[in-house]
């Protein structure tokens, strides 16, 4: 019997950005069980595009959901509208035992009604709780309170929560013990393919030349420029260190108040080693930049399994990670760890500079192996399919 899975909460596919979008791209592209039929909600803000209700991508049925420009409430409107469309479709086509998989915890206040309607047609509701969205500094206090409230209701009314980090699973089980939530852990995946560019390809040498960077002579940071990613600690500590290498930061700082505030606080622009180089959308080039870095600094303190961490472990030789549960869970003993204690990271950078080629090689092999064993997309896809097949 064909198993129908309706996935709601991503911006949709095809896409070349975003964690959930990348996940869906790999889930549908790498499908191993042809008896599973995926239906993926895709957000459109253009009424003309919305007229094309369905299209196929990676053998998945993608359905467009029109979302009017109503400001911050867009995301909530989109999830609810997408679920309404999906439930109608399942009912109309008399689909037996449909699975509705909701990514992120935005629609808590509507969750009881949605679960009731899904159960009425013999379906189940799964939720991916993402990371601690309510802890992100970018949200105002009322928004953070809404996220937390919404998360609780999503947990309460879901049939199953699929957590992409063991630490998030533990958090759900302890925080919402009163609901006795049913949870499982399936990680986020990583692409372990090496860049196809040669070390002397014009693409990479031109990029190095443009920013005055030398191969293996820089530490790298890739990620959103937000306070909870600990940029202030990483920049301040690097400035304190005696490292002769550069700190290359790939991120978008355009119109960013946090960037200006950080500049005023640390005066990093006076340190020639600190280099903000904008964004790199060419994935092949980005992989090469990761591979030719001396080391990678990862400061994320919020969220589940972070895609940029997985990519770094897969491709960068040496990884220096902020010491929190979910970073340690992913890196295990294939990386080095630092705390926010003054001087801790500066010291670790200097120790890293002094490592022998053999020691670096050992870290490189261990981190790549870690990703291959536990986070390859083919493994993640098979874990999801196993779970979806359990619904009888």
| pLDDT at position 263 over 60 | yes
pLDDT band for position 255 (50/70/90)? Answer: confident
What would the two tokens of residue 136 be? 């992100």
Residue 230: pLDDT band by 50, 70, 90 thresholds?
very high
pLDDT given for residue 130 in this prediction: 76
Range of 143-157, 244-258, 345-359 with top mean pLDDT: 345-359
Token digits for 60? 């998945």
pLDDT value, residue 102: 98
d(CA 239, CA 349): 11
Domain 202-374 in CATH 3.40.50.2000? The answer is: yes
φ and ψ at 54, to 5 degrees? Answer: -130, 145
Check whether 138 has a pLDDT greater than 70: no
Average pLDDT rounded to a whole number, residues 103-107 = 93
Residue 132's pLDDT band (cuts 50, 70, 90): low
pLDDT reported for residue 176: 95
pTM to 2 decimal places: 0.78
Mean pLDDT of 123-134: 82
The pLDDT value given to residue 326: 85
Q: Which pLDDT band, with edges at 50, 70 and 90, does 325 fall under?
A: confident
Q: What is the distance between the alpha carbons of residues 134 and 33, in angstroms, rounded to a whole number?
A: 36
263-268, Cβ contacts within 8 angstroms, sequence gap of 24 or more: 265/232, 266/232, 266/235, 266/236, 266/239, 268/235, 268/239
Asked whether the predicted pLDDT for residue 121 surpasses 90, the reply is yes
The pLDDT value given to residue 103: 96
* pLDDT tens digits for range 367-379: 999 998 899 898 9
Band (148; pLDDT cuts 50, 70, 90): confident
pLDDT at 39: 98
Whether the predicted pLDDT of 135 surpasses 90: no
Boundaries of every domain in the chain: 3-189+376-389, 202-374
User: Is there a shared CATH topology between the 3-189+376-389 domain and the 202-374 domain?
Assistant: yes
Residue bearing the bigger pLDDT, 342 or 281: 342
Over range 21-30, report the average pLDDT: 94
Which one has a higher pLDDT value, 144 or 146? 146
Q: DSSP strand E in the chain: where?
A: 3-8, 36-44, 54-57, 60-66, 99-103, 124-128, 160-163, 183-185, 218-222, 246-250, 274-276, 295-298, 319-322, 336-338
- For domain 3-189+376-389, the question of CATH label 3.20.20.140 is answered with no
pLDDT of residue 83: 98
Instruction: Kindly calculate the radius of gyration of the chain based on its CA atoms and give it in whole angstroms.
Output: 22
pLDDT (0 to 100) of residue 335: 98
pLDDT band at residue 307, thresholds of 50, 70 and 90?
Answer: confident
Which band of pLDDT confidence, cut at 50, 70 and 90, is reported for residue 137? low
Express as a percent the part of the chain with pLDDT over 90: 77
Q: How much is the pLDDT for 173? A: 96
Task: Please compute the mean of the pLDDT values over residues 150-169 and round it to a whole number.
Answer: 94
Q: What is the pLDDT of residue 302?
A: 75
The whole-number pLDDT of residue 58 equals: 95
pLDDT at 131: 63
Residues 258-287 have a mean pLDDT of: 94
Nearest Cα residue to 186 out of 389, 388, 380:
380
For the purposes of burial, counting CB atoms within 10 Å of the CB of 179, is it exposed (0-12), middle (13-18) or buried (19 or more)? middle
* pLDDT value at residue 257: 87
Average pLDDT of the chain is: 93
The fraction of the chain above a pLDDT of 70, given in percent, is 97
pLDDT at 48: 80
Higher pLDDT, 190 or 273: 273
pLDDT value at residue 107: 95
């Amino acid at each position: 019997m064909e198993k129908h899975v309706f996935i709601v909460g991503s911006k949709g596919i095809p896409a070349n950005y975003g964690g959930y979008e990348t996940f869906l791209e790999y889930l549908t592209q790498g499908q191993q069980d042809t008896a599973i039929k995926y239906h993926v909600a895709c957000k459109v803000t253009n009424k003309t595009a919305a007229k094309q209700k369905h299209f196929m991508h990676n053998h998945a049925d993608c359905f467009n959901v029109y979302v009017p420009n109503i400001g911050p409430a867009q995301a909530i409107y989109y999830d609810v509208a997408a679920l309404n469309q999906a439930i109608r479709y399942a009912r109309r086509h008399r689909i037996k035992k449909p699975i509705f998989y909701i990514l992120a915890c935005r629609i808590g206040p509507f969750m009881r009604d949605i679960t009731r309607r899904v159960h009425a047609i013999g379906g189940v509701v799964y939720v991916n709780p993402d990371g601690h969205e309510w802890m992100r500094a970018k949200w105002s206090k009322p928004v953070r309170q809404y996220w937390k409230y919404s998360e609780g209701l999503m947990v309460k009314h879901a049939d199953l929560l699929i957590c992409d980090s063991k630490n998030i699973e533990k958090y759900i089980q302890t925080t919402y013990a009163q609901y006795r939530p049913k949870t499982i852990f399936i990680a986020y995946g990583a692409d372990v393919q090496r860049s196809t560019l040669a070390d002397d390809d014009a693409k990479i040498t031109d990029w190095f030349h443009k920013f005055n960077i030398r191969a293996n002579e820089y530490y790298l940071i890739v990620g959103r420029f937000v306070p909870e990613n600990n940029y202030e600690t990483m920049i301040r500590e690097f400035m304190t260190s005696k490292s002769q290498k550069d700190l290359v930061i790939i991120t978008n700082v355009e119109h960013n108040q946090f960037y200006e505030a950080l500049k005023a606080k640390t005066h990093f622009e006076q340190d020639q080693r600190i280099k903000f180089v904008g964004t790199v959308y060419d994935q092949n080039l980005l992989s090469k930049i990761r591979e030719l870095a001396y080391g990678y600094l990862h400061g994320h303190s919020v969220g589940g399994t972070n895609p940029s961490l997985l990519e770094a472990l897969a491709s960068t030789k040496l990884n220096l990670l902020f010491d929190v549960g979910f970073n340690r869970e992913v890196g295990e003993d294939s990386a080095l760890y630092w705390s926010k204690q003054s001087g801790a990271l500066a010291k670790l950078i200097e120790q890293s500079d002094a490592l022998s080629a053999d020691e670096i090689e050992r870290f490189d092999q261990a981190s790549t192996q870690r990703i291959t064993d536990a986070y390859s997309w083919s493994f993640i896809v098979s874990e999801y399919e196993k779970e979806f097949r359990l619904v009888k």
